[in-house]
Amino acid sequence: MDQIKIGKFIASCRKEQGMTQAVLAEKLGISDRAVSKWETGKAMPDSGIMLALCDLLKINVNELLSGERIMAELYDKRAEENLLAMKREIEEKNRQMLQAEYWVVIPAVLAGLVLIFVASFVSMPAWLRVVLIEFALVMILTAVFIAVGIEQKAGYYECQSCGHRYVPTYWQTNLAPHAGRTRYMKCPKCGKRSWQRKVLTKEE
């Protein structure tokens, strides 16, 4: 989606309705800085307020995501294009989150292992040795918990029995036996346990 085009469209529609950025922001319960970011193409409206925004601007969501008024005969085609674009954006964001998981875990685990090695083999007071080891373990565990949170939120898990794709809770993800990003969990739809692989989108 073209954020610059969408931003200019939002600004145009806002002016058509005789509203300033401050007035629009007040009606939506947000800051006028957020509206400014939309209109300059630096950000997109959150999905939770898109309907309210469209109602105030007298447009529909399809037109908002297209950045222009849509003729009736082109509506279905443009709606399909917008849905595909949103799907691609969600998939890319999920991919970036999963990549960020490695940047969190690997440095923290390596740093923790180095601290444990130093504490184990370098001569130092006993109290300092204990502090270093405890600090290293806390660092590693914190990184692991953050990484699991990232993995749980990014994308979906696919049941190998029925093909259902869903987002498990944090603790279901954390406590499930796993091999890489494949976890052994119970499907909420069919109730069967299987090794469920991580996928980036809700549907094929």
Residue 8's pLDDT band (cuts 50, 70, 90): very high
Residue 152's pLDDT band (cuts 50, 70, 90): confident
Claim: this prediction has a pTM higher than 0.75: no
Output b/e per residue, 166-183; b: 16+ Cβ within 10 A.
Answer: eebeeeebbebebeeebb
Pair type for strands 182-186 and 193-199:
antiparallel
Percent above pLDDT 90 for the chain: 48
Q: What pLDDT does 113 receive?
A: 93
DSSP string, 55-111: HHHT--HHHHHHTS---GGGHHHHHHHHHHHHHHHHHHHHHHHHHHHHHHHHHHHHH
Residue 35's pLDDT band (cuts 50, 70, 90): very high
In the chain the domains, ranked by start, together with CATH numbers, are 3-70 (1.10.260.40), 93-199 (no CATH)
Model pLDDT for residues 84-124, shown as the tens digit of each residue: 777 777 788 888 888 888 888 889 999 999 999 999 999 99
Model pLDDT for residues 174-183, shown as the tens digit of each residue: 889 988 889 9
